[in-house]
Amino acid sequence: MTSAIGLVLLILLGAIVLFASGRVRVDLVALLTLLALLLTDLVSVDEAFAGFSNPAVITVLAIYIVSDGLTRTGVADYVAQYLFRIAGRNELGLIAVLMLAVGAMSAFTNNIGATAVLMPAALSVGKRTGIAPSKLLIPLAFGSLLGGTTTLVGTPPNLLASAALEEAGFAPFSLLEYTPIGLLIFATGLVYMLLAGRHLLPSRNADEDDEHWVQRFQLAGMLHELLVVPDSALLGRTFADSMLASHFQVEILGALR
């Protein structure tokens, strides 16, 4: 093994450790890895920044923008609420609707964006129906992953594979060329989740999770809930404007309206 190969493996190992630790943001780890390869002369400057002009990278960025637009305009949330009204309070129906909805969205938008759009609605429905959130969120996550396999733009690896094919001198994949195989994979995952997978899902409610974190981080006696009175000076102000965190050295976890 040459010294260059050993150096690449060492940098790769360091990146994996940082990814696994979760202490450094994923995007920063990626940039640090790129910088390390550049500083060690393992890649040239042109090679280091060639990826930023790759069509696959630009397409992924555009998909993120579309996903954010759907979230900000409320279109996706409206569709989600409508679908949940169709499913009713039945766990089997909710899982099916969740996976179908997020699968359809992730086929043409970013997987993370599609999951983030439907996650609040899934949690809300879980509270109203008494179904443990864990029984809805895991199918949601799997539905997003499987739905992304059905189109070219559904997941970044599909785009990267098409870009690599084009760079090698072959015709790139079309938008729906993944669809026949992707739909079969999605349908198989959906049927498995409805027939067998849902019985293996953990049943974890919010109260149990709250108690777990309170005990783990020794927060007993440190969590408080305050009521904002009608004539309070805090009305109409954001957390940042109120300066509560800096004045009283507290961490605001959320607000109930």
List per-block mean pLDDT (blocks of 10 residues) for the chain, which spans 257 residues.
Answer: 84 90 83 89 83 71 71 68 76 92 88 78 76 89 94 87 88 92 96 94 64 57 75 73 67 69
pLDDT for the residue 89? 77
pLDDT for the residue 148? 92
Torsions phi, psi of 241, nearest 5?
-70, -30
Residues 6+ apart with CB under 8 A from 37: 8, 11, 43, 48
> Could you report the per-residue pLDDT of 123-167, keeping only the tens digit for each?
777 777 788 888 998 999 999 999 999 999 888 888 888 988 888
What's the token pair of residue 253? 């976890």
Residue type, 10: L
42 neighbors 8 (Cβ within 8 angstroms): yes
3-state secondary structure of 115: helix
Tokens 């733009």, located at residue: 153
Q: Could you tell me how many residues make up the chain?
A: 257
pLDDT for the residue 186? 97
pLDDT for the residue 1? 59
123 vs 134: CA distance, rounded Å: 9
What is the sign, positive or negative, of the torsion defined by CA atoms of 84, 85, 91, 93? negative
pLDDT for the residue 146? 95
Residue type, 216: R
Which pTM was predicted? 0.61
pLDDT for the residue 204? 66
Residues 6+ apart with CB under 8 A from 23: none
Question: Residue 110: how many CB atoms within 10 A of its CB?
Answer: 26
pLDDT for the residue 197? 93
Q: How far is CA 36 from CA 10, 40, 230, in A?
A: 10, 6, 56
Torsion of CA 154, 155, 160, 165, to 10 degrees: -40
162 neighbors 54 (Cβ within 8 angstroms): no
pLDDT for the residue 88? 76
Torsion of CA 191, 192, 197, 198, to 10 degrees: 10
How many CA atoms within 13 Å lie on the side-chain side of 73? Answer: 9
